[in-house]
Amino acid sequence: MPAAAQTASGQKAAPSETLASEASELADSDAEPANGFAHFGFAPELLQALVAIGYQQPSPIQKAAIPELLLGRDLVGQAQTGTGKTAAFALPLLTAIDPNQRTPQVLVLAPTRELAIQVAEAFNTFAAKMPHLRVLPVYGGADFRDQIARLKRGVQVVVGTPGRVMDHMRQGTLDLSGLRTLVLDEADEMLRMGFIDDVEWVLSQLPEKRQVVLFSATMPPEIRRISRQYLNDPAEITIRQKGDDASRIRQRYITVNAPQKLEALSRVLEAETKEGVIIFARTKAITVAVAESLEAKGYDVAVLNGDVAQSQRERTIDRLKSGHVNVLVATDVAARGLDVDRITLVVNYDIPFDSEAYVHRIGRTGRAGRSGDAILFLTPRERRFLGGLERAVGRPIEPMEVPSNATINQHRLDLLRQKLTSALNPAEDSRREELALLAEILQRVSQEHEATPDQLALAALRLAVGEAPLLVHGDENWMRQQAPMGRNDRGERGYDRGGDRRDRGGEPRGRLAQAGGAPARGGFRSEDSQPEENMERFRIEVGWRDRVKPGNIVGAIANEAGLGGRSIGRIQIFDGHSTIDLPKGMPDEVFNSLKRLRVMNKELQISRHQD
């Protein structure tokens, strides 16, 4: 994928912070007008918004999908994240919106809250010149009453996760009688997370006459079945993403709890001496906090965010290019279009929730044929996004440890030795007079104090090192407390090392439930059975009387806890409660968030199961 969108004349565009990557996949070098989106006949206000965020030419998925959706056809699109598919469905659907209709006309189902937020932001950005259009993201964990109030005020586009959408539909707070289009985004992820039953329930409640759009990176049989059953003569589009030349960029990730991110960043910069560094943070406030922390440690740091004026931005980039600044802390929008050859390390201090932005970020290094490094910080709850980033770049991202005291100390000693070696053979002839004076000082000190050459050299090194200690002896216990990282045979990550658990026959264990102690399908035993050695059993306060199904529980917990769906163990559903086996060692912050999680509009109130 190209590192930045370009205009027809070759000039780099400046996409928005949230949606930078939608313009990254360009068409081939066909002759295009000044703005290729003008071909579609979009309203002037929509074209103005596209120009404002730097969209110049439609990507292949946009070229193929937009005309079909403008005709009102159902559509099945197979495209990886990073091909611009959000704009491919959002732009044509916005053209048909009636701002005077107060009930939702477009419903987008997404597998995770992060994707729901991202897609809602995309709609808002595209509709920036359409002041009467309202977009509402709905997902678990957010204030239900606030969502109801906003729905009552009127919205035209709803983007949500299946569970929360169903909650609103059952309570009658989400009126879909006037719905025109349903979009299933990342349908294969919804299948993997156990949401397909929910998706089919939503589909069964919609008006008979509606447009259905389905996007999926892969097309497993279950997704094909839904396409055949619920879509009417759909247009089918398959986009193969162009391979990104990332071979020159070494990509690694560190798993670190949020409170230790600043300390981990400091250690990474100590151990990874680079010519120029860009640190990407998600918000303006975080850029300032990170920069202030690094300045206190003696780094030459500059900040680029939305508050920086254009003139100051230009001066900052010039200082970065000239080497007067070595570390830049930036948001995505501020760093868009940044082209500095001396950037050899990119640190993703905050993970972007869309992999297109990740591709753009790491594209700031490895430029002009040079090699580069990219390091990604992941909290335990964010590890589920790693597979998507790997798919976007077409290669694995290697794990790495937070640099230890020993690593940093060895690096400092190596660096001092390199500097000393370089000083033995000065390259500048113009400083010969100064060197002669320094030699005279050494001779006088040697005579006055009867110092040996070794003693003089050691004293000179102490002067060069300064007052700060050469070696670090900081506390390393927190590094051993970071959540362990595993990968199962599907490439999913969770905080269990055992990976996917399978029966002796090699088949994955299911997540079927049982009621009132009766044997469940799939061979699950009664509640008296013990969890596996690497699992812990929990009780949740939802059961059959709440109409809960295993898919509801799996989807909600997998999303909140950052687990692969198949890292979740045995689920047993009883009349008034259920039990679920989860990997041991769940972080406290995840456990506390699960207590407040709602399934079927009821709090889980998760607790450790008492035998």
pLDDT reported for residue 247: 59
Predicted pLDDT of residue 238: 87
Binning pLDDT at 50, 70 and 90, where does residue 501 land?
A: very low
Q: What's the confidence (pLDDT) of residue 524? A: 35
What type of residue is 104?
P
Closest by Cα among 367, 410, 340, 453 to 2: 367
Least confident interval from 165-169, 271-275, 429-433, 483-487: 483-487
What integer pLDDT is reported at residue 317 of this predicted model?
A: 82
Q: How confident is the model at residue 308 (pLDDT cuts 50, 70, 90)?
A: confident
Which stretch of 67-71, 172-176, 238-242, 316-320 has the lowest confidence by average pLDDT?
238-242
Task: Indicate if 249-406 has the same CATH topology as 20-239.
Answer: yes
pLDDT of 482 over the 80 cut: no
Q: What is the pLDDT of residue 30?
A: 39
Q: How confident is the model at residue 271 (pLDDT cuts 50, 70, 90)?
A: confident
DSSP class of residue 563 equals -
**Count of CB atoms situated within 10 Å of the CB of 198:** 21
Buried b (16+ CB within 10 A) or exposed e, 321-358: beeebbbbbbbbbbbbbbebebbbbbbbbbbbbbbbbb
Residue 240: C-alpha distances to residues 195, 243, 244, 394, 476 (Å): 26, 9, 12, 12, 45
Most confident of 212-226, 490-504, 511-525, 550-564: 212-226
Query: Looking at residue 561, what is its pLDDT?
Result: 65
The ranges assigned to domains in the chain are 20-239, 249-406, 429-467, 486-608
Which of 207-211, 437-441, 497-501, 581-585 holds the top average pLDDT?
Answer: 207-211
User: Is the model more confident about 306 or about 326?
Assistant: 326
Report the b/e string of 121-150 with b at 16+ CB within 10 A.
bbbbbbbbbbeebbbbbbbbeeebeebeeb
Residue with more model confidence, 474 or 287? 287
Residue range 38-47, pLDDT digits in tens: 889 898 999 9
Pair 499, 493: CB distance under 8 Å: no
Alpha-helical runs (H) found in 425-545: 432-449, 453-465, 477-480
Task: Tell me how far the alpha carbon of residue 149 is from its chain's centroid.
Answer: 30
Instruction: Calculate mean pLDDT across residues 516-543.
Output: 60
Say which range, 154-163, 431-440, 595-604, has the weakest mean pLDDT.
Answer: 431-440
pLDDT of 179 higher than 50? yes
Mean pLDDT within 497-516: 34
The pLDDT, as a whole number, for residue 448 is: 79
- What is the model's pLDDT at position 516? 33
Say whether 545 sits in a helix, a strand or coil: helix
Domain 249-406: CATH architecture, name and number where available: 3-Layer(aba) Sandwich (3.40)
Q: Which residue has the higher pLDDT, 440 or 80?
A: 440
**CATH class held by domain 486-608:** alpha beta
Task: Examine the pLDDT at 6 and tell me if it is beyond 80.
Answer: no
Kindly report, residue by residue over 396-425, the tens digit of the pLDDT: 999 988 888 887 788 778 777 777 777 777
**pLDDT at position 71:** 93
Q: What is the DSSP letter of 546?
A: G
Burial of 528 (0-12, 13-18, 19+ CB in 10 A): exposed
- Residues 189-198, mean pLDDT to the nearest whole number: 82
Q: How far is CA 468 from the centre of its chain?
A: 38
Mean pLDDT score, 67-95: 87
Superfamily of domain 20-239: P-loop containing nucleotide triphosphate hydrolases (3.40.50.300)
Using a pLDDT cut of 90, give the percent of the chain over it. Answer: 27
Q: Does residue 432 surpass a pLDDT of 80? A: no
